[in-house]
């Protein structure tokens, strides 16, 4: 009997041990499955979605000098008929002599918030977007950066709507999709609102960790909608070539006589080539050449007027109709390039550009011409150079930057979205010198994007010719007595000198 009980106990122990072992194995298997699912979810979320951003506080103090000139009043109908012929102060009630002299704004403060989103939809398709809020302290528009001196700043429109100080709205600065590795080849297609601002070499001054945008900054700083077809190569050195297309303005329906106004305008198009001749991170060397055509440019585009009480500003917001207030003026051919290199820790760059107008100005056009006066259909060449360097000061955790650029009389580029508060320095017909100091705040980052720094800078503008940044109107020497002649009456006050000191506190997250 004793042996029987011992046998039964042994059998029961074996059964219970086997059941426990089976239960344990199942539990471990389930736990392992759960761990894999959690890890997969975490990895999937981390790999699919990437969110970052930056905040900037900026303070500017500005002085400018306006030369004596004749102000053009476009609302006097007698002026339209007189622009092509002789005028005098007595017979031309649409003009008047003005002398602004020195103007100043001791302090202007701005806040800028930018949020970046990157999402992986499939293995080879990625969405990227940036949302921006940019405003002046105590203001809901950019009017105080405009009149009466910098009149072109009175307009916010498609190329600069997210880049000019405005209200506290969060706007879409860019949103585009990339499809890479097409057919297993090193080629891609990208379409949407393009990354076309803060291009090389601007990443040095803005303290970006890498190149941000495609276009050479001397030629293009313009947020536009378009598409790119690109191909990457690795021999004899790494590089990329892109064919780009964009739309500058949309004409809408054409050929219809609506309320007495016939729309005969075409869409304004921008298309061309951007070639990273060298893009070699190991050698810390980069070179890009871009060439494009801006086709069927209008005399003016559709603006949002930031100061509706200002009649002169309202005038510059015409409709494209048969009244002669708006018309297509021609095409611009543009070539620019940049070479960047890091030599013994010092970053330096050399950039140059050429522009040429192809004038199609209507003979009946009563208003300013295509870099000319009405009735003059001459084409013009322009050129510009831009050089600079950035020197590390490691003992102070800092960088010192020096930049200089020059633009000729007929130089024209596409930079209304440049990050200069009053006038795009690369668009200047004259000279601009700038010095800046960056101090990287020595603090431990809590993310791969985390860093903070301050930047102190000073710019001095010697503006030689009027109309910087605009393709409308004849550039006039700011030292010329012609500015006091009603024949050369100016829409906006001509500035010949300006200096601007600025301070920024910037946080990347």
Domain segments of the chain as ranges: 2-508
Neighbours of 10 (CB within 10 A): 10
What's the residue count for the chain? 509
Q: Which CATH architecture has domain 2-508?
A: Beta Barrel (2.40)
SS3 of 499, please? strand
Rounded distance between C-alpha atoms, residue 28 and residue 22, angstroms:
10
Q: Are 399 and 347 in contact (CB under 8 A)?
A: no
Instruction: Identify which of 64, 70, 191, 171 has the alpha carbon closest to the alpha carbon of residue 127.
Output: 191
Q: Over the stretch 472-506, which tens digit does the pLDDT of each residue have?
A: 889 999 999 988 887 787 878 899 999 999 999 99
Query: In this predicted structure, what is the pLDDT of residue 486?
Result: 79
Neighbours of 4 (CB within 10 A): 8
Query: In this predicted structure, what is the pLDDT of residue 19?
Result: 47
Query: In this predicted structure, what is the pLDDT of residue 70?
Result: 82
SS3 of 449, please? coil
Query: In this predicted structure, what is the pLDDT of residue 25?
Result: 66
Pairing of strands 398-407, 430-440: antiparallel
Is-cis flag, bond preceding 148, omega within 30?
Answer: yes
Query: In this predicted structure, what is the pLDDT of residue 146?
Result: 75
Rounded distance between C-alpha atoms, residue 254 and residue 313, angstroms:
27
Residue numbers of the chain with a pLDDT score lower than 50: 4, 6, 8-9, 11, 13-16, 18-22, 75-94, 258-261, 302-306, 308-325
Query: In this predicted structure, what is the pLDDT of residue 88?
Result: 34
Neighbours of 389 (CB within 10 A): 16
Query: In this predicted structure, what is the pLDDT of residue 20?
Result: 47
Entry pTM: 0.84
Query: In this predicted structure, what is the pLDDT of residue 485?
Result: 82
Query: In this predicted structure, what is the pLDDT of residue 156?
Result: 81
Query: In this predicted structure, what is the pLDDT of residue 45?
Result: 55
């Amino acid at each position: 009997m004793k042996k029987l009980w011992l046998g039964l106990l042994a059998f029961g122990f074996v059964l219970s041990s086997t059941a426990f072992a089976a239960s344990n194995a199942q539990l471990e298997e389930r736990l392992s499955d759960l761990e894999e699912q959690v890890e997969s979810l975490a990895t999937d979320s981390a790999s699919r979605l990437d969110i970052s951003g930056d905040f900037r506080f900026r303070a500017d103090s500005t002085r400018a000098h306006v030369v004596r000139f004749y102000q053009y009043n476009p609302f006097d109908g007698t002026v339209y008929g007189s622009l092509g012929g002789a005028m005098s102060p007595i017979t031309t009630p649409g003009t008047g002599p003005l002398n602004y002299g020195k103007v100043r704004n001791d302090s202007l403060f701005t806040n800028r918030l930018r949020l970046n989103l990157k999402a992986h939809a499939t293995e080879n398709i990625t969405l990227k977007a940036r949302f921006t809020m940019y405003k002046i302290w105590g203001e809901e528009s950019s009017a105080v950066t405009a009149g009466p001196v910098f009149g072109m700043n009175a307009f916010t429109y498609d190329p600069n709507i997210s880049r000019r100080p405005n209200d506290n709205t969060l706007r879409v600065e860019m949103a585009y999709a990339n499809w890479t590795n097409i057919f297993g080849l090193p080629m891609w297609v990208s379409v949407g609102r393009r990354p076309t601002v803060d291009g090389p070499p601007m990443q040095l001054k803005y303290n970006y960790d890498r190149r941000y945008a495609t276009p050479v900054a001397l030629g293009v700083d313009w947020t536009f909608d378009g598409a790119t077809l690109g191909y990457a190569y690795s021999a004899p050195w790494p590089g990329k070539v892109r064919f780009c297309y964009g739309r500058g303005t949309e004409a809408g329906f054409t050929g219809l006589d609506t309320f007495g106004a016939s729309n005969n305008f075409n869409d304004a198009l921008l298309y061309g080539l951007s070639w990273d001749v060298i893009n070699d991170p190991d050698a810390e060397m980069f070179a890009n050449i871009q060439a494009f055509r801006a086709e069927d440019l209008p005399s003016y585009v559709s603006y949002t007027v930031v100061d509706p009480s200002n009649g002169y500003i309202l005038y510059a917001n015409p409709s494209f109709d048969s009244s002669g207030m708006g018309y297509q003026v021609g095409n611009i051919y543009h070539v620019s390039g940049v070479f960047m290199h890091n030599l013994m820790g010092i970053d330096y760059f050399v950039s140059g550009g050429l522009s040429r107008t192809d004038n199609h100005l209507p003979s009946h056009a009563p208003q300013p011409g295509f870099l000319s006066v009405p009735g003059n259909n001459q084409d013009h060449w322009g050129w510009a150079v831009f050089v600079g360097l950035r020197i590390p000061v490691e003992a102070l955790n800092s960088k010192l930057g020096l930049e200089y650029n020059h633009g000729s009389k007929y130089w024209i580029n596409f930079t209304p979205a440049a990050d200069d508060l009053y006038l795009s320095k690369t668009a200047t017909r004259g000279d601009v010198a700038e010095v800046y100091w960056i101090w990287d705040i020595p603090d431990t980052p809590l993310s791969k994007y985390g860093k903070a720094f301050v930047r102190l800078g000073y710019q001095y503008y010697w503006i030689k010719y009027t109309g910087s940044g605009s393709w409308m109107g004849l550039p006039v020497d700011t030292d010329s007595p012609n500015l006091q002649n009603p024949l050369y009456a100016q829409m906006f006050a001509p500035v010949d000198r300006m200096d601007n000191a600025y301070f920024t506190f910037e946080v990347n997250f």
